[in-house]
């Protein structure tokens, strides 16, 4: 009887493990789909004459709102902060420094950072500029990423360094730190 009971338990534990794996795979697939969608919209919106409204509209659509919402900037900020670890842009024909980059880093590497500048200077947005990825075993924030470009002669020649320095300054004014300065 103990053997039957043991087999019965193993059977249900096995089903739960398979179910959990399916759920993880499904969530991972959903996350990749979301990241691809937001990144592709970002590439299109960031190149427009009014990237802030265009990209906000995309985010607000995801949360069931629109540009007329008085809490628009808070909702956009909350969304970008909540999903920053999911919004990783891969190879969409837009080169970055890393093969896969967090959404805001990709906006910098693509040279389309007008939207990011707006997030940094408009105090109604509350972006957490201290989110980080582990790159080569070290914490890398958006600020680290920007300084990586500024301080690398090869990379720097493809960017407007004065604009990047201004962006870095605006992010620092909003509390942005380098990875080494985070606890």
State how many domains the chain has: 1
Residue indicated by tokens 């902060």: 81
d(CA 163, CA 170): 11
Sequence length of the chain is 183
For the stretch 116-174, pLDDT in tens is 999 999 999 999 999 998 989 999 999 999 999 999 999 899 889 999 999 999 999 99
d(CA 20, CA 111): 40
For the stretch 31-63, pLDDT in tens is 788 787 888 877 777 777 778 888 898 899 999
Would the pLDDT of 99 be above 70? no
Strands 138-141 vs 101-102: parallel, antiparallel or unpaired = unpaired
How many other CB atoms are there within 10 angstroms of residue 102's CB atom? 25
Which range of residues forms the domain containing residue 104?
Answer: 2-181
d(CA 38, CA 125): 18
Full-prediction pTM beyond 0.95? no
């Amino acid at each position: 009887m103990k053997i039957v009971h043991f087999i019965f338990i193993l059977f249900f534990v096995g089903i739960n493990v398979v179910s959990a794996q399916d759920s993880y795979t499904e969530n991972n697939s959903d996350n990749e789909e979301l990241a691809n969608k937001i990144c592709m919209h970002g590439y299109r919106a960031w190149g427009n004459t009014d990237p802030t409204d265009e990209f906000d509209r995309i985010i607000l659509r995801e949360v069931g709102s629109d540009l007329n919402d008085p809490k628009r900037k808070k909702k956009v900020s909350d969304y970008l902060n909540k999903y920053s670890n999911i919004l990783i842009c891969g190879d969409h024909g837009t080169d970055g420094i890393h093969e896969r980059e967090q959404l805001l880093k990709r906006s910098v590497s693509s040279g389309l950072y007008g939207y990011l500048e707006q997030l940094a200077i408009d105090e109604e947005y509350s972006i957490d500029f201290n989110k980080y990825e582990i790159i080569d075993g070290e914490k890398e924030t958006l600020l680290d990423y920007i300084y990586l470009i500024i301080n690398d002669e090869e990379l720097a020649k493809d960017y407007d360094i004065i604009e990047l320095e201004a962006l870095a300054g605006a992010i620092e004014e909003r509390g942005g730190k380098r990875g080494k300065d985070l606890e």
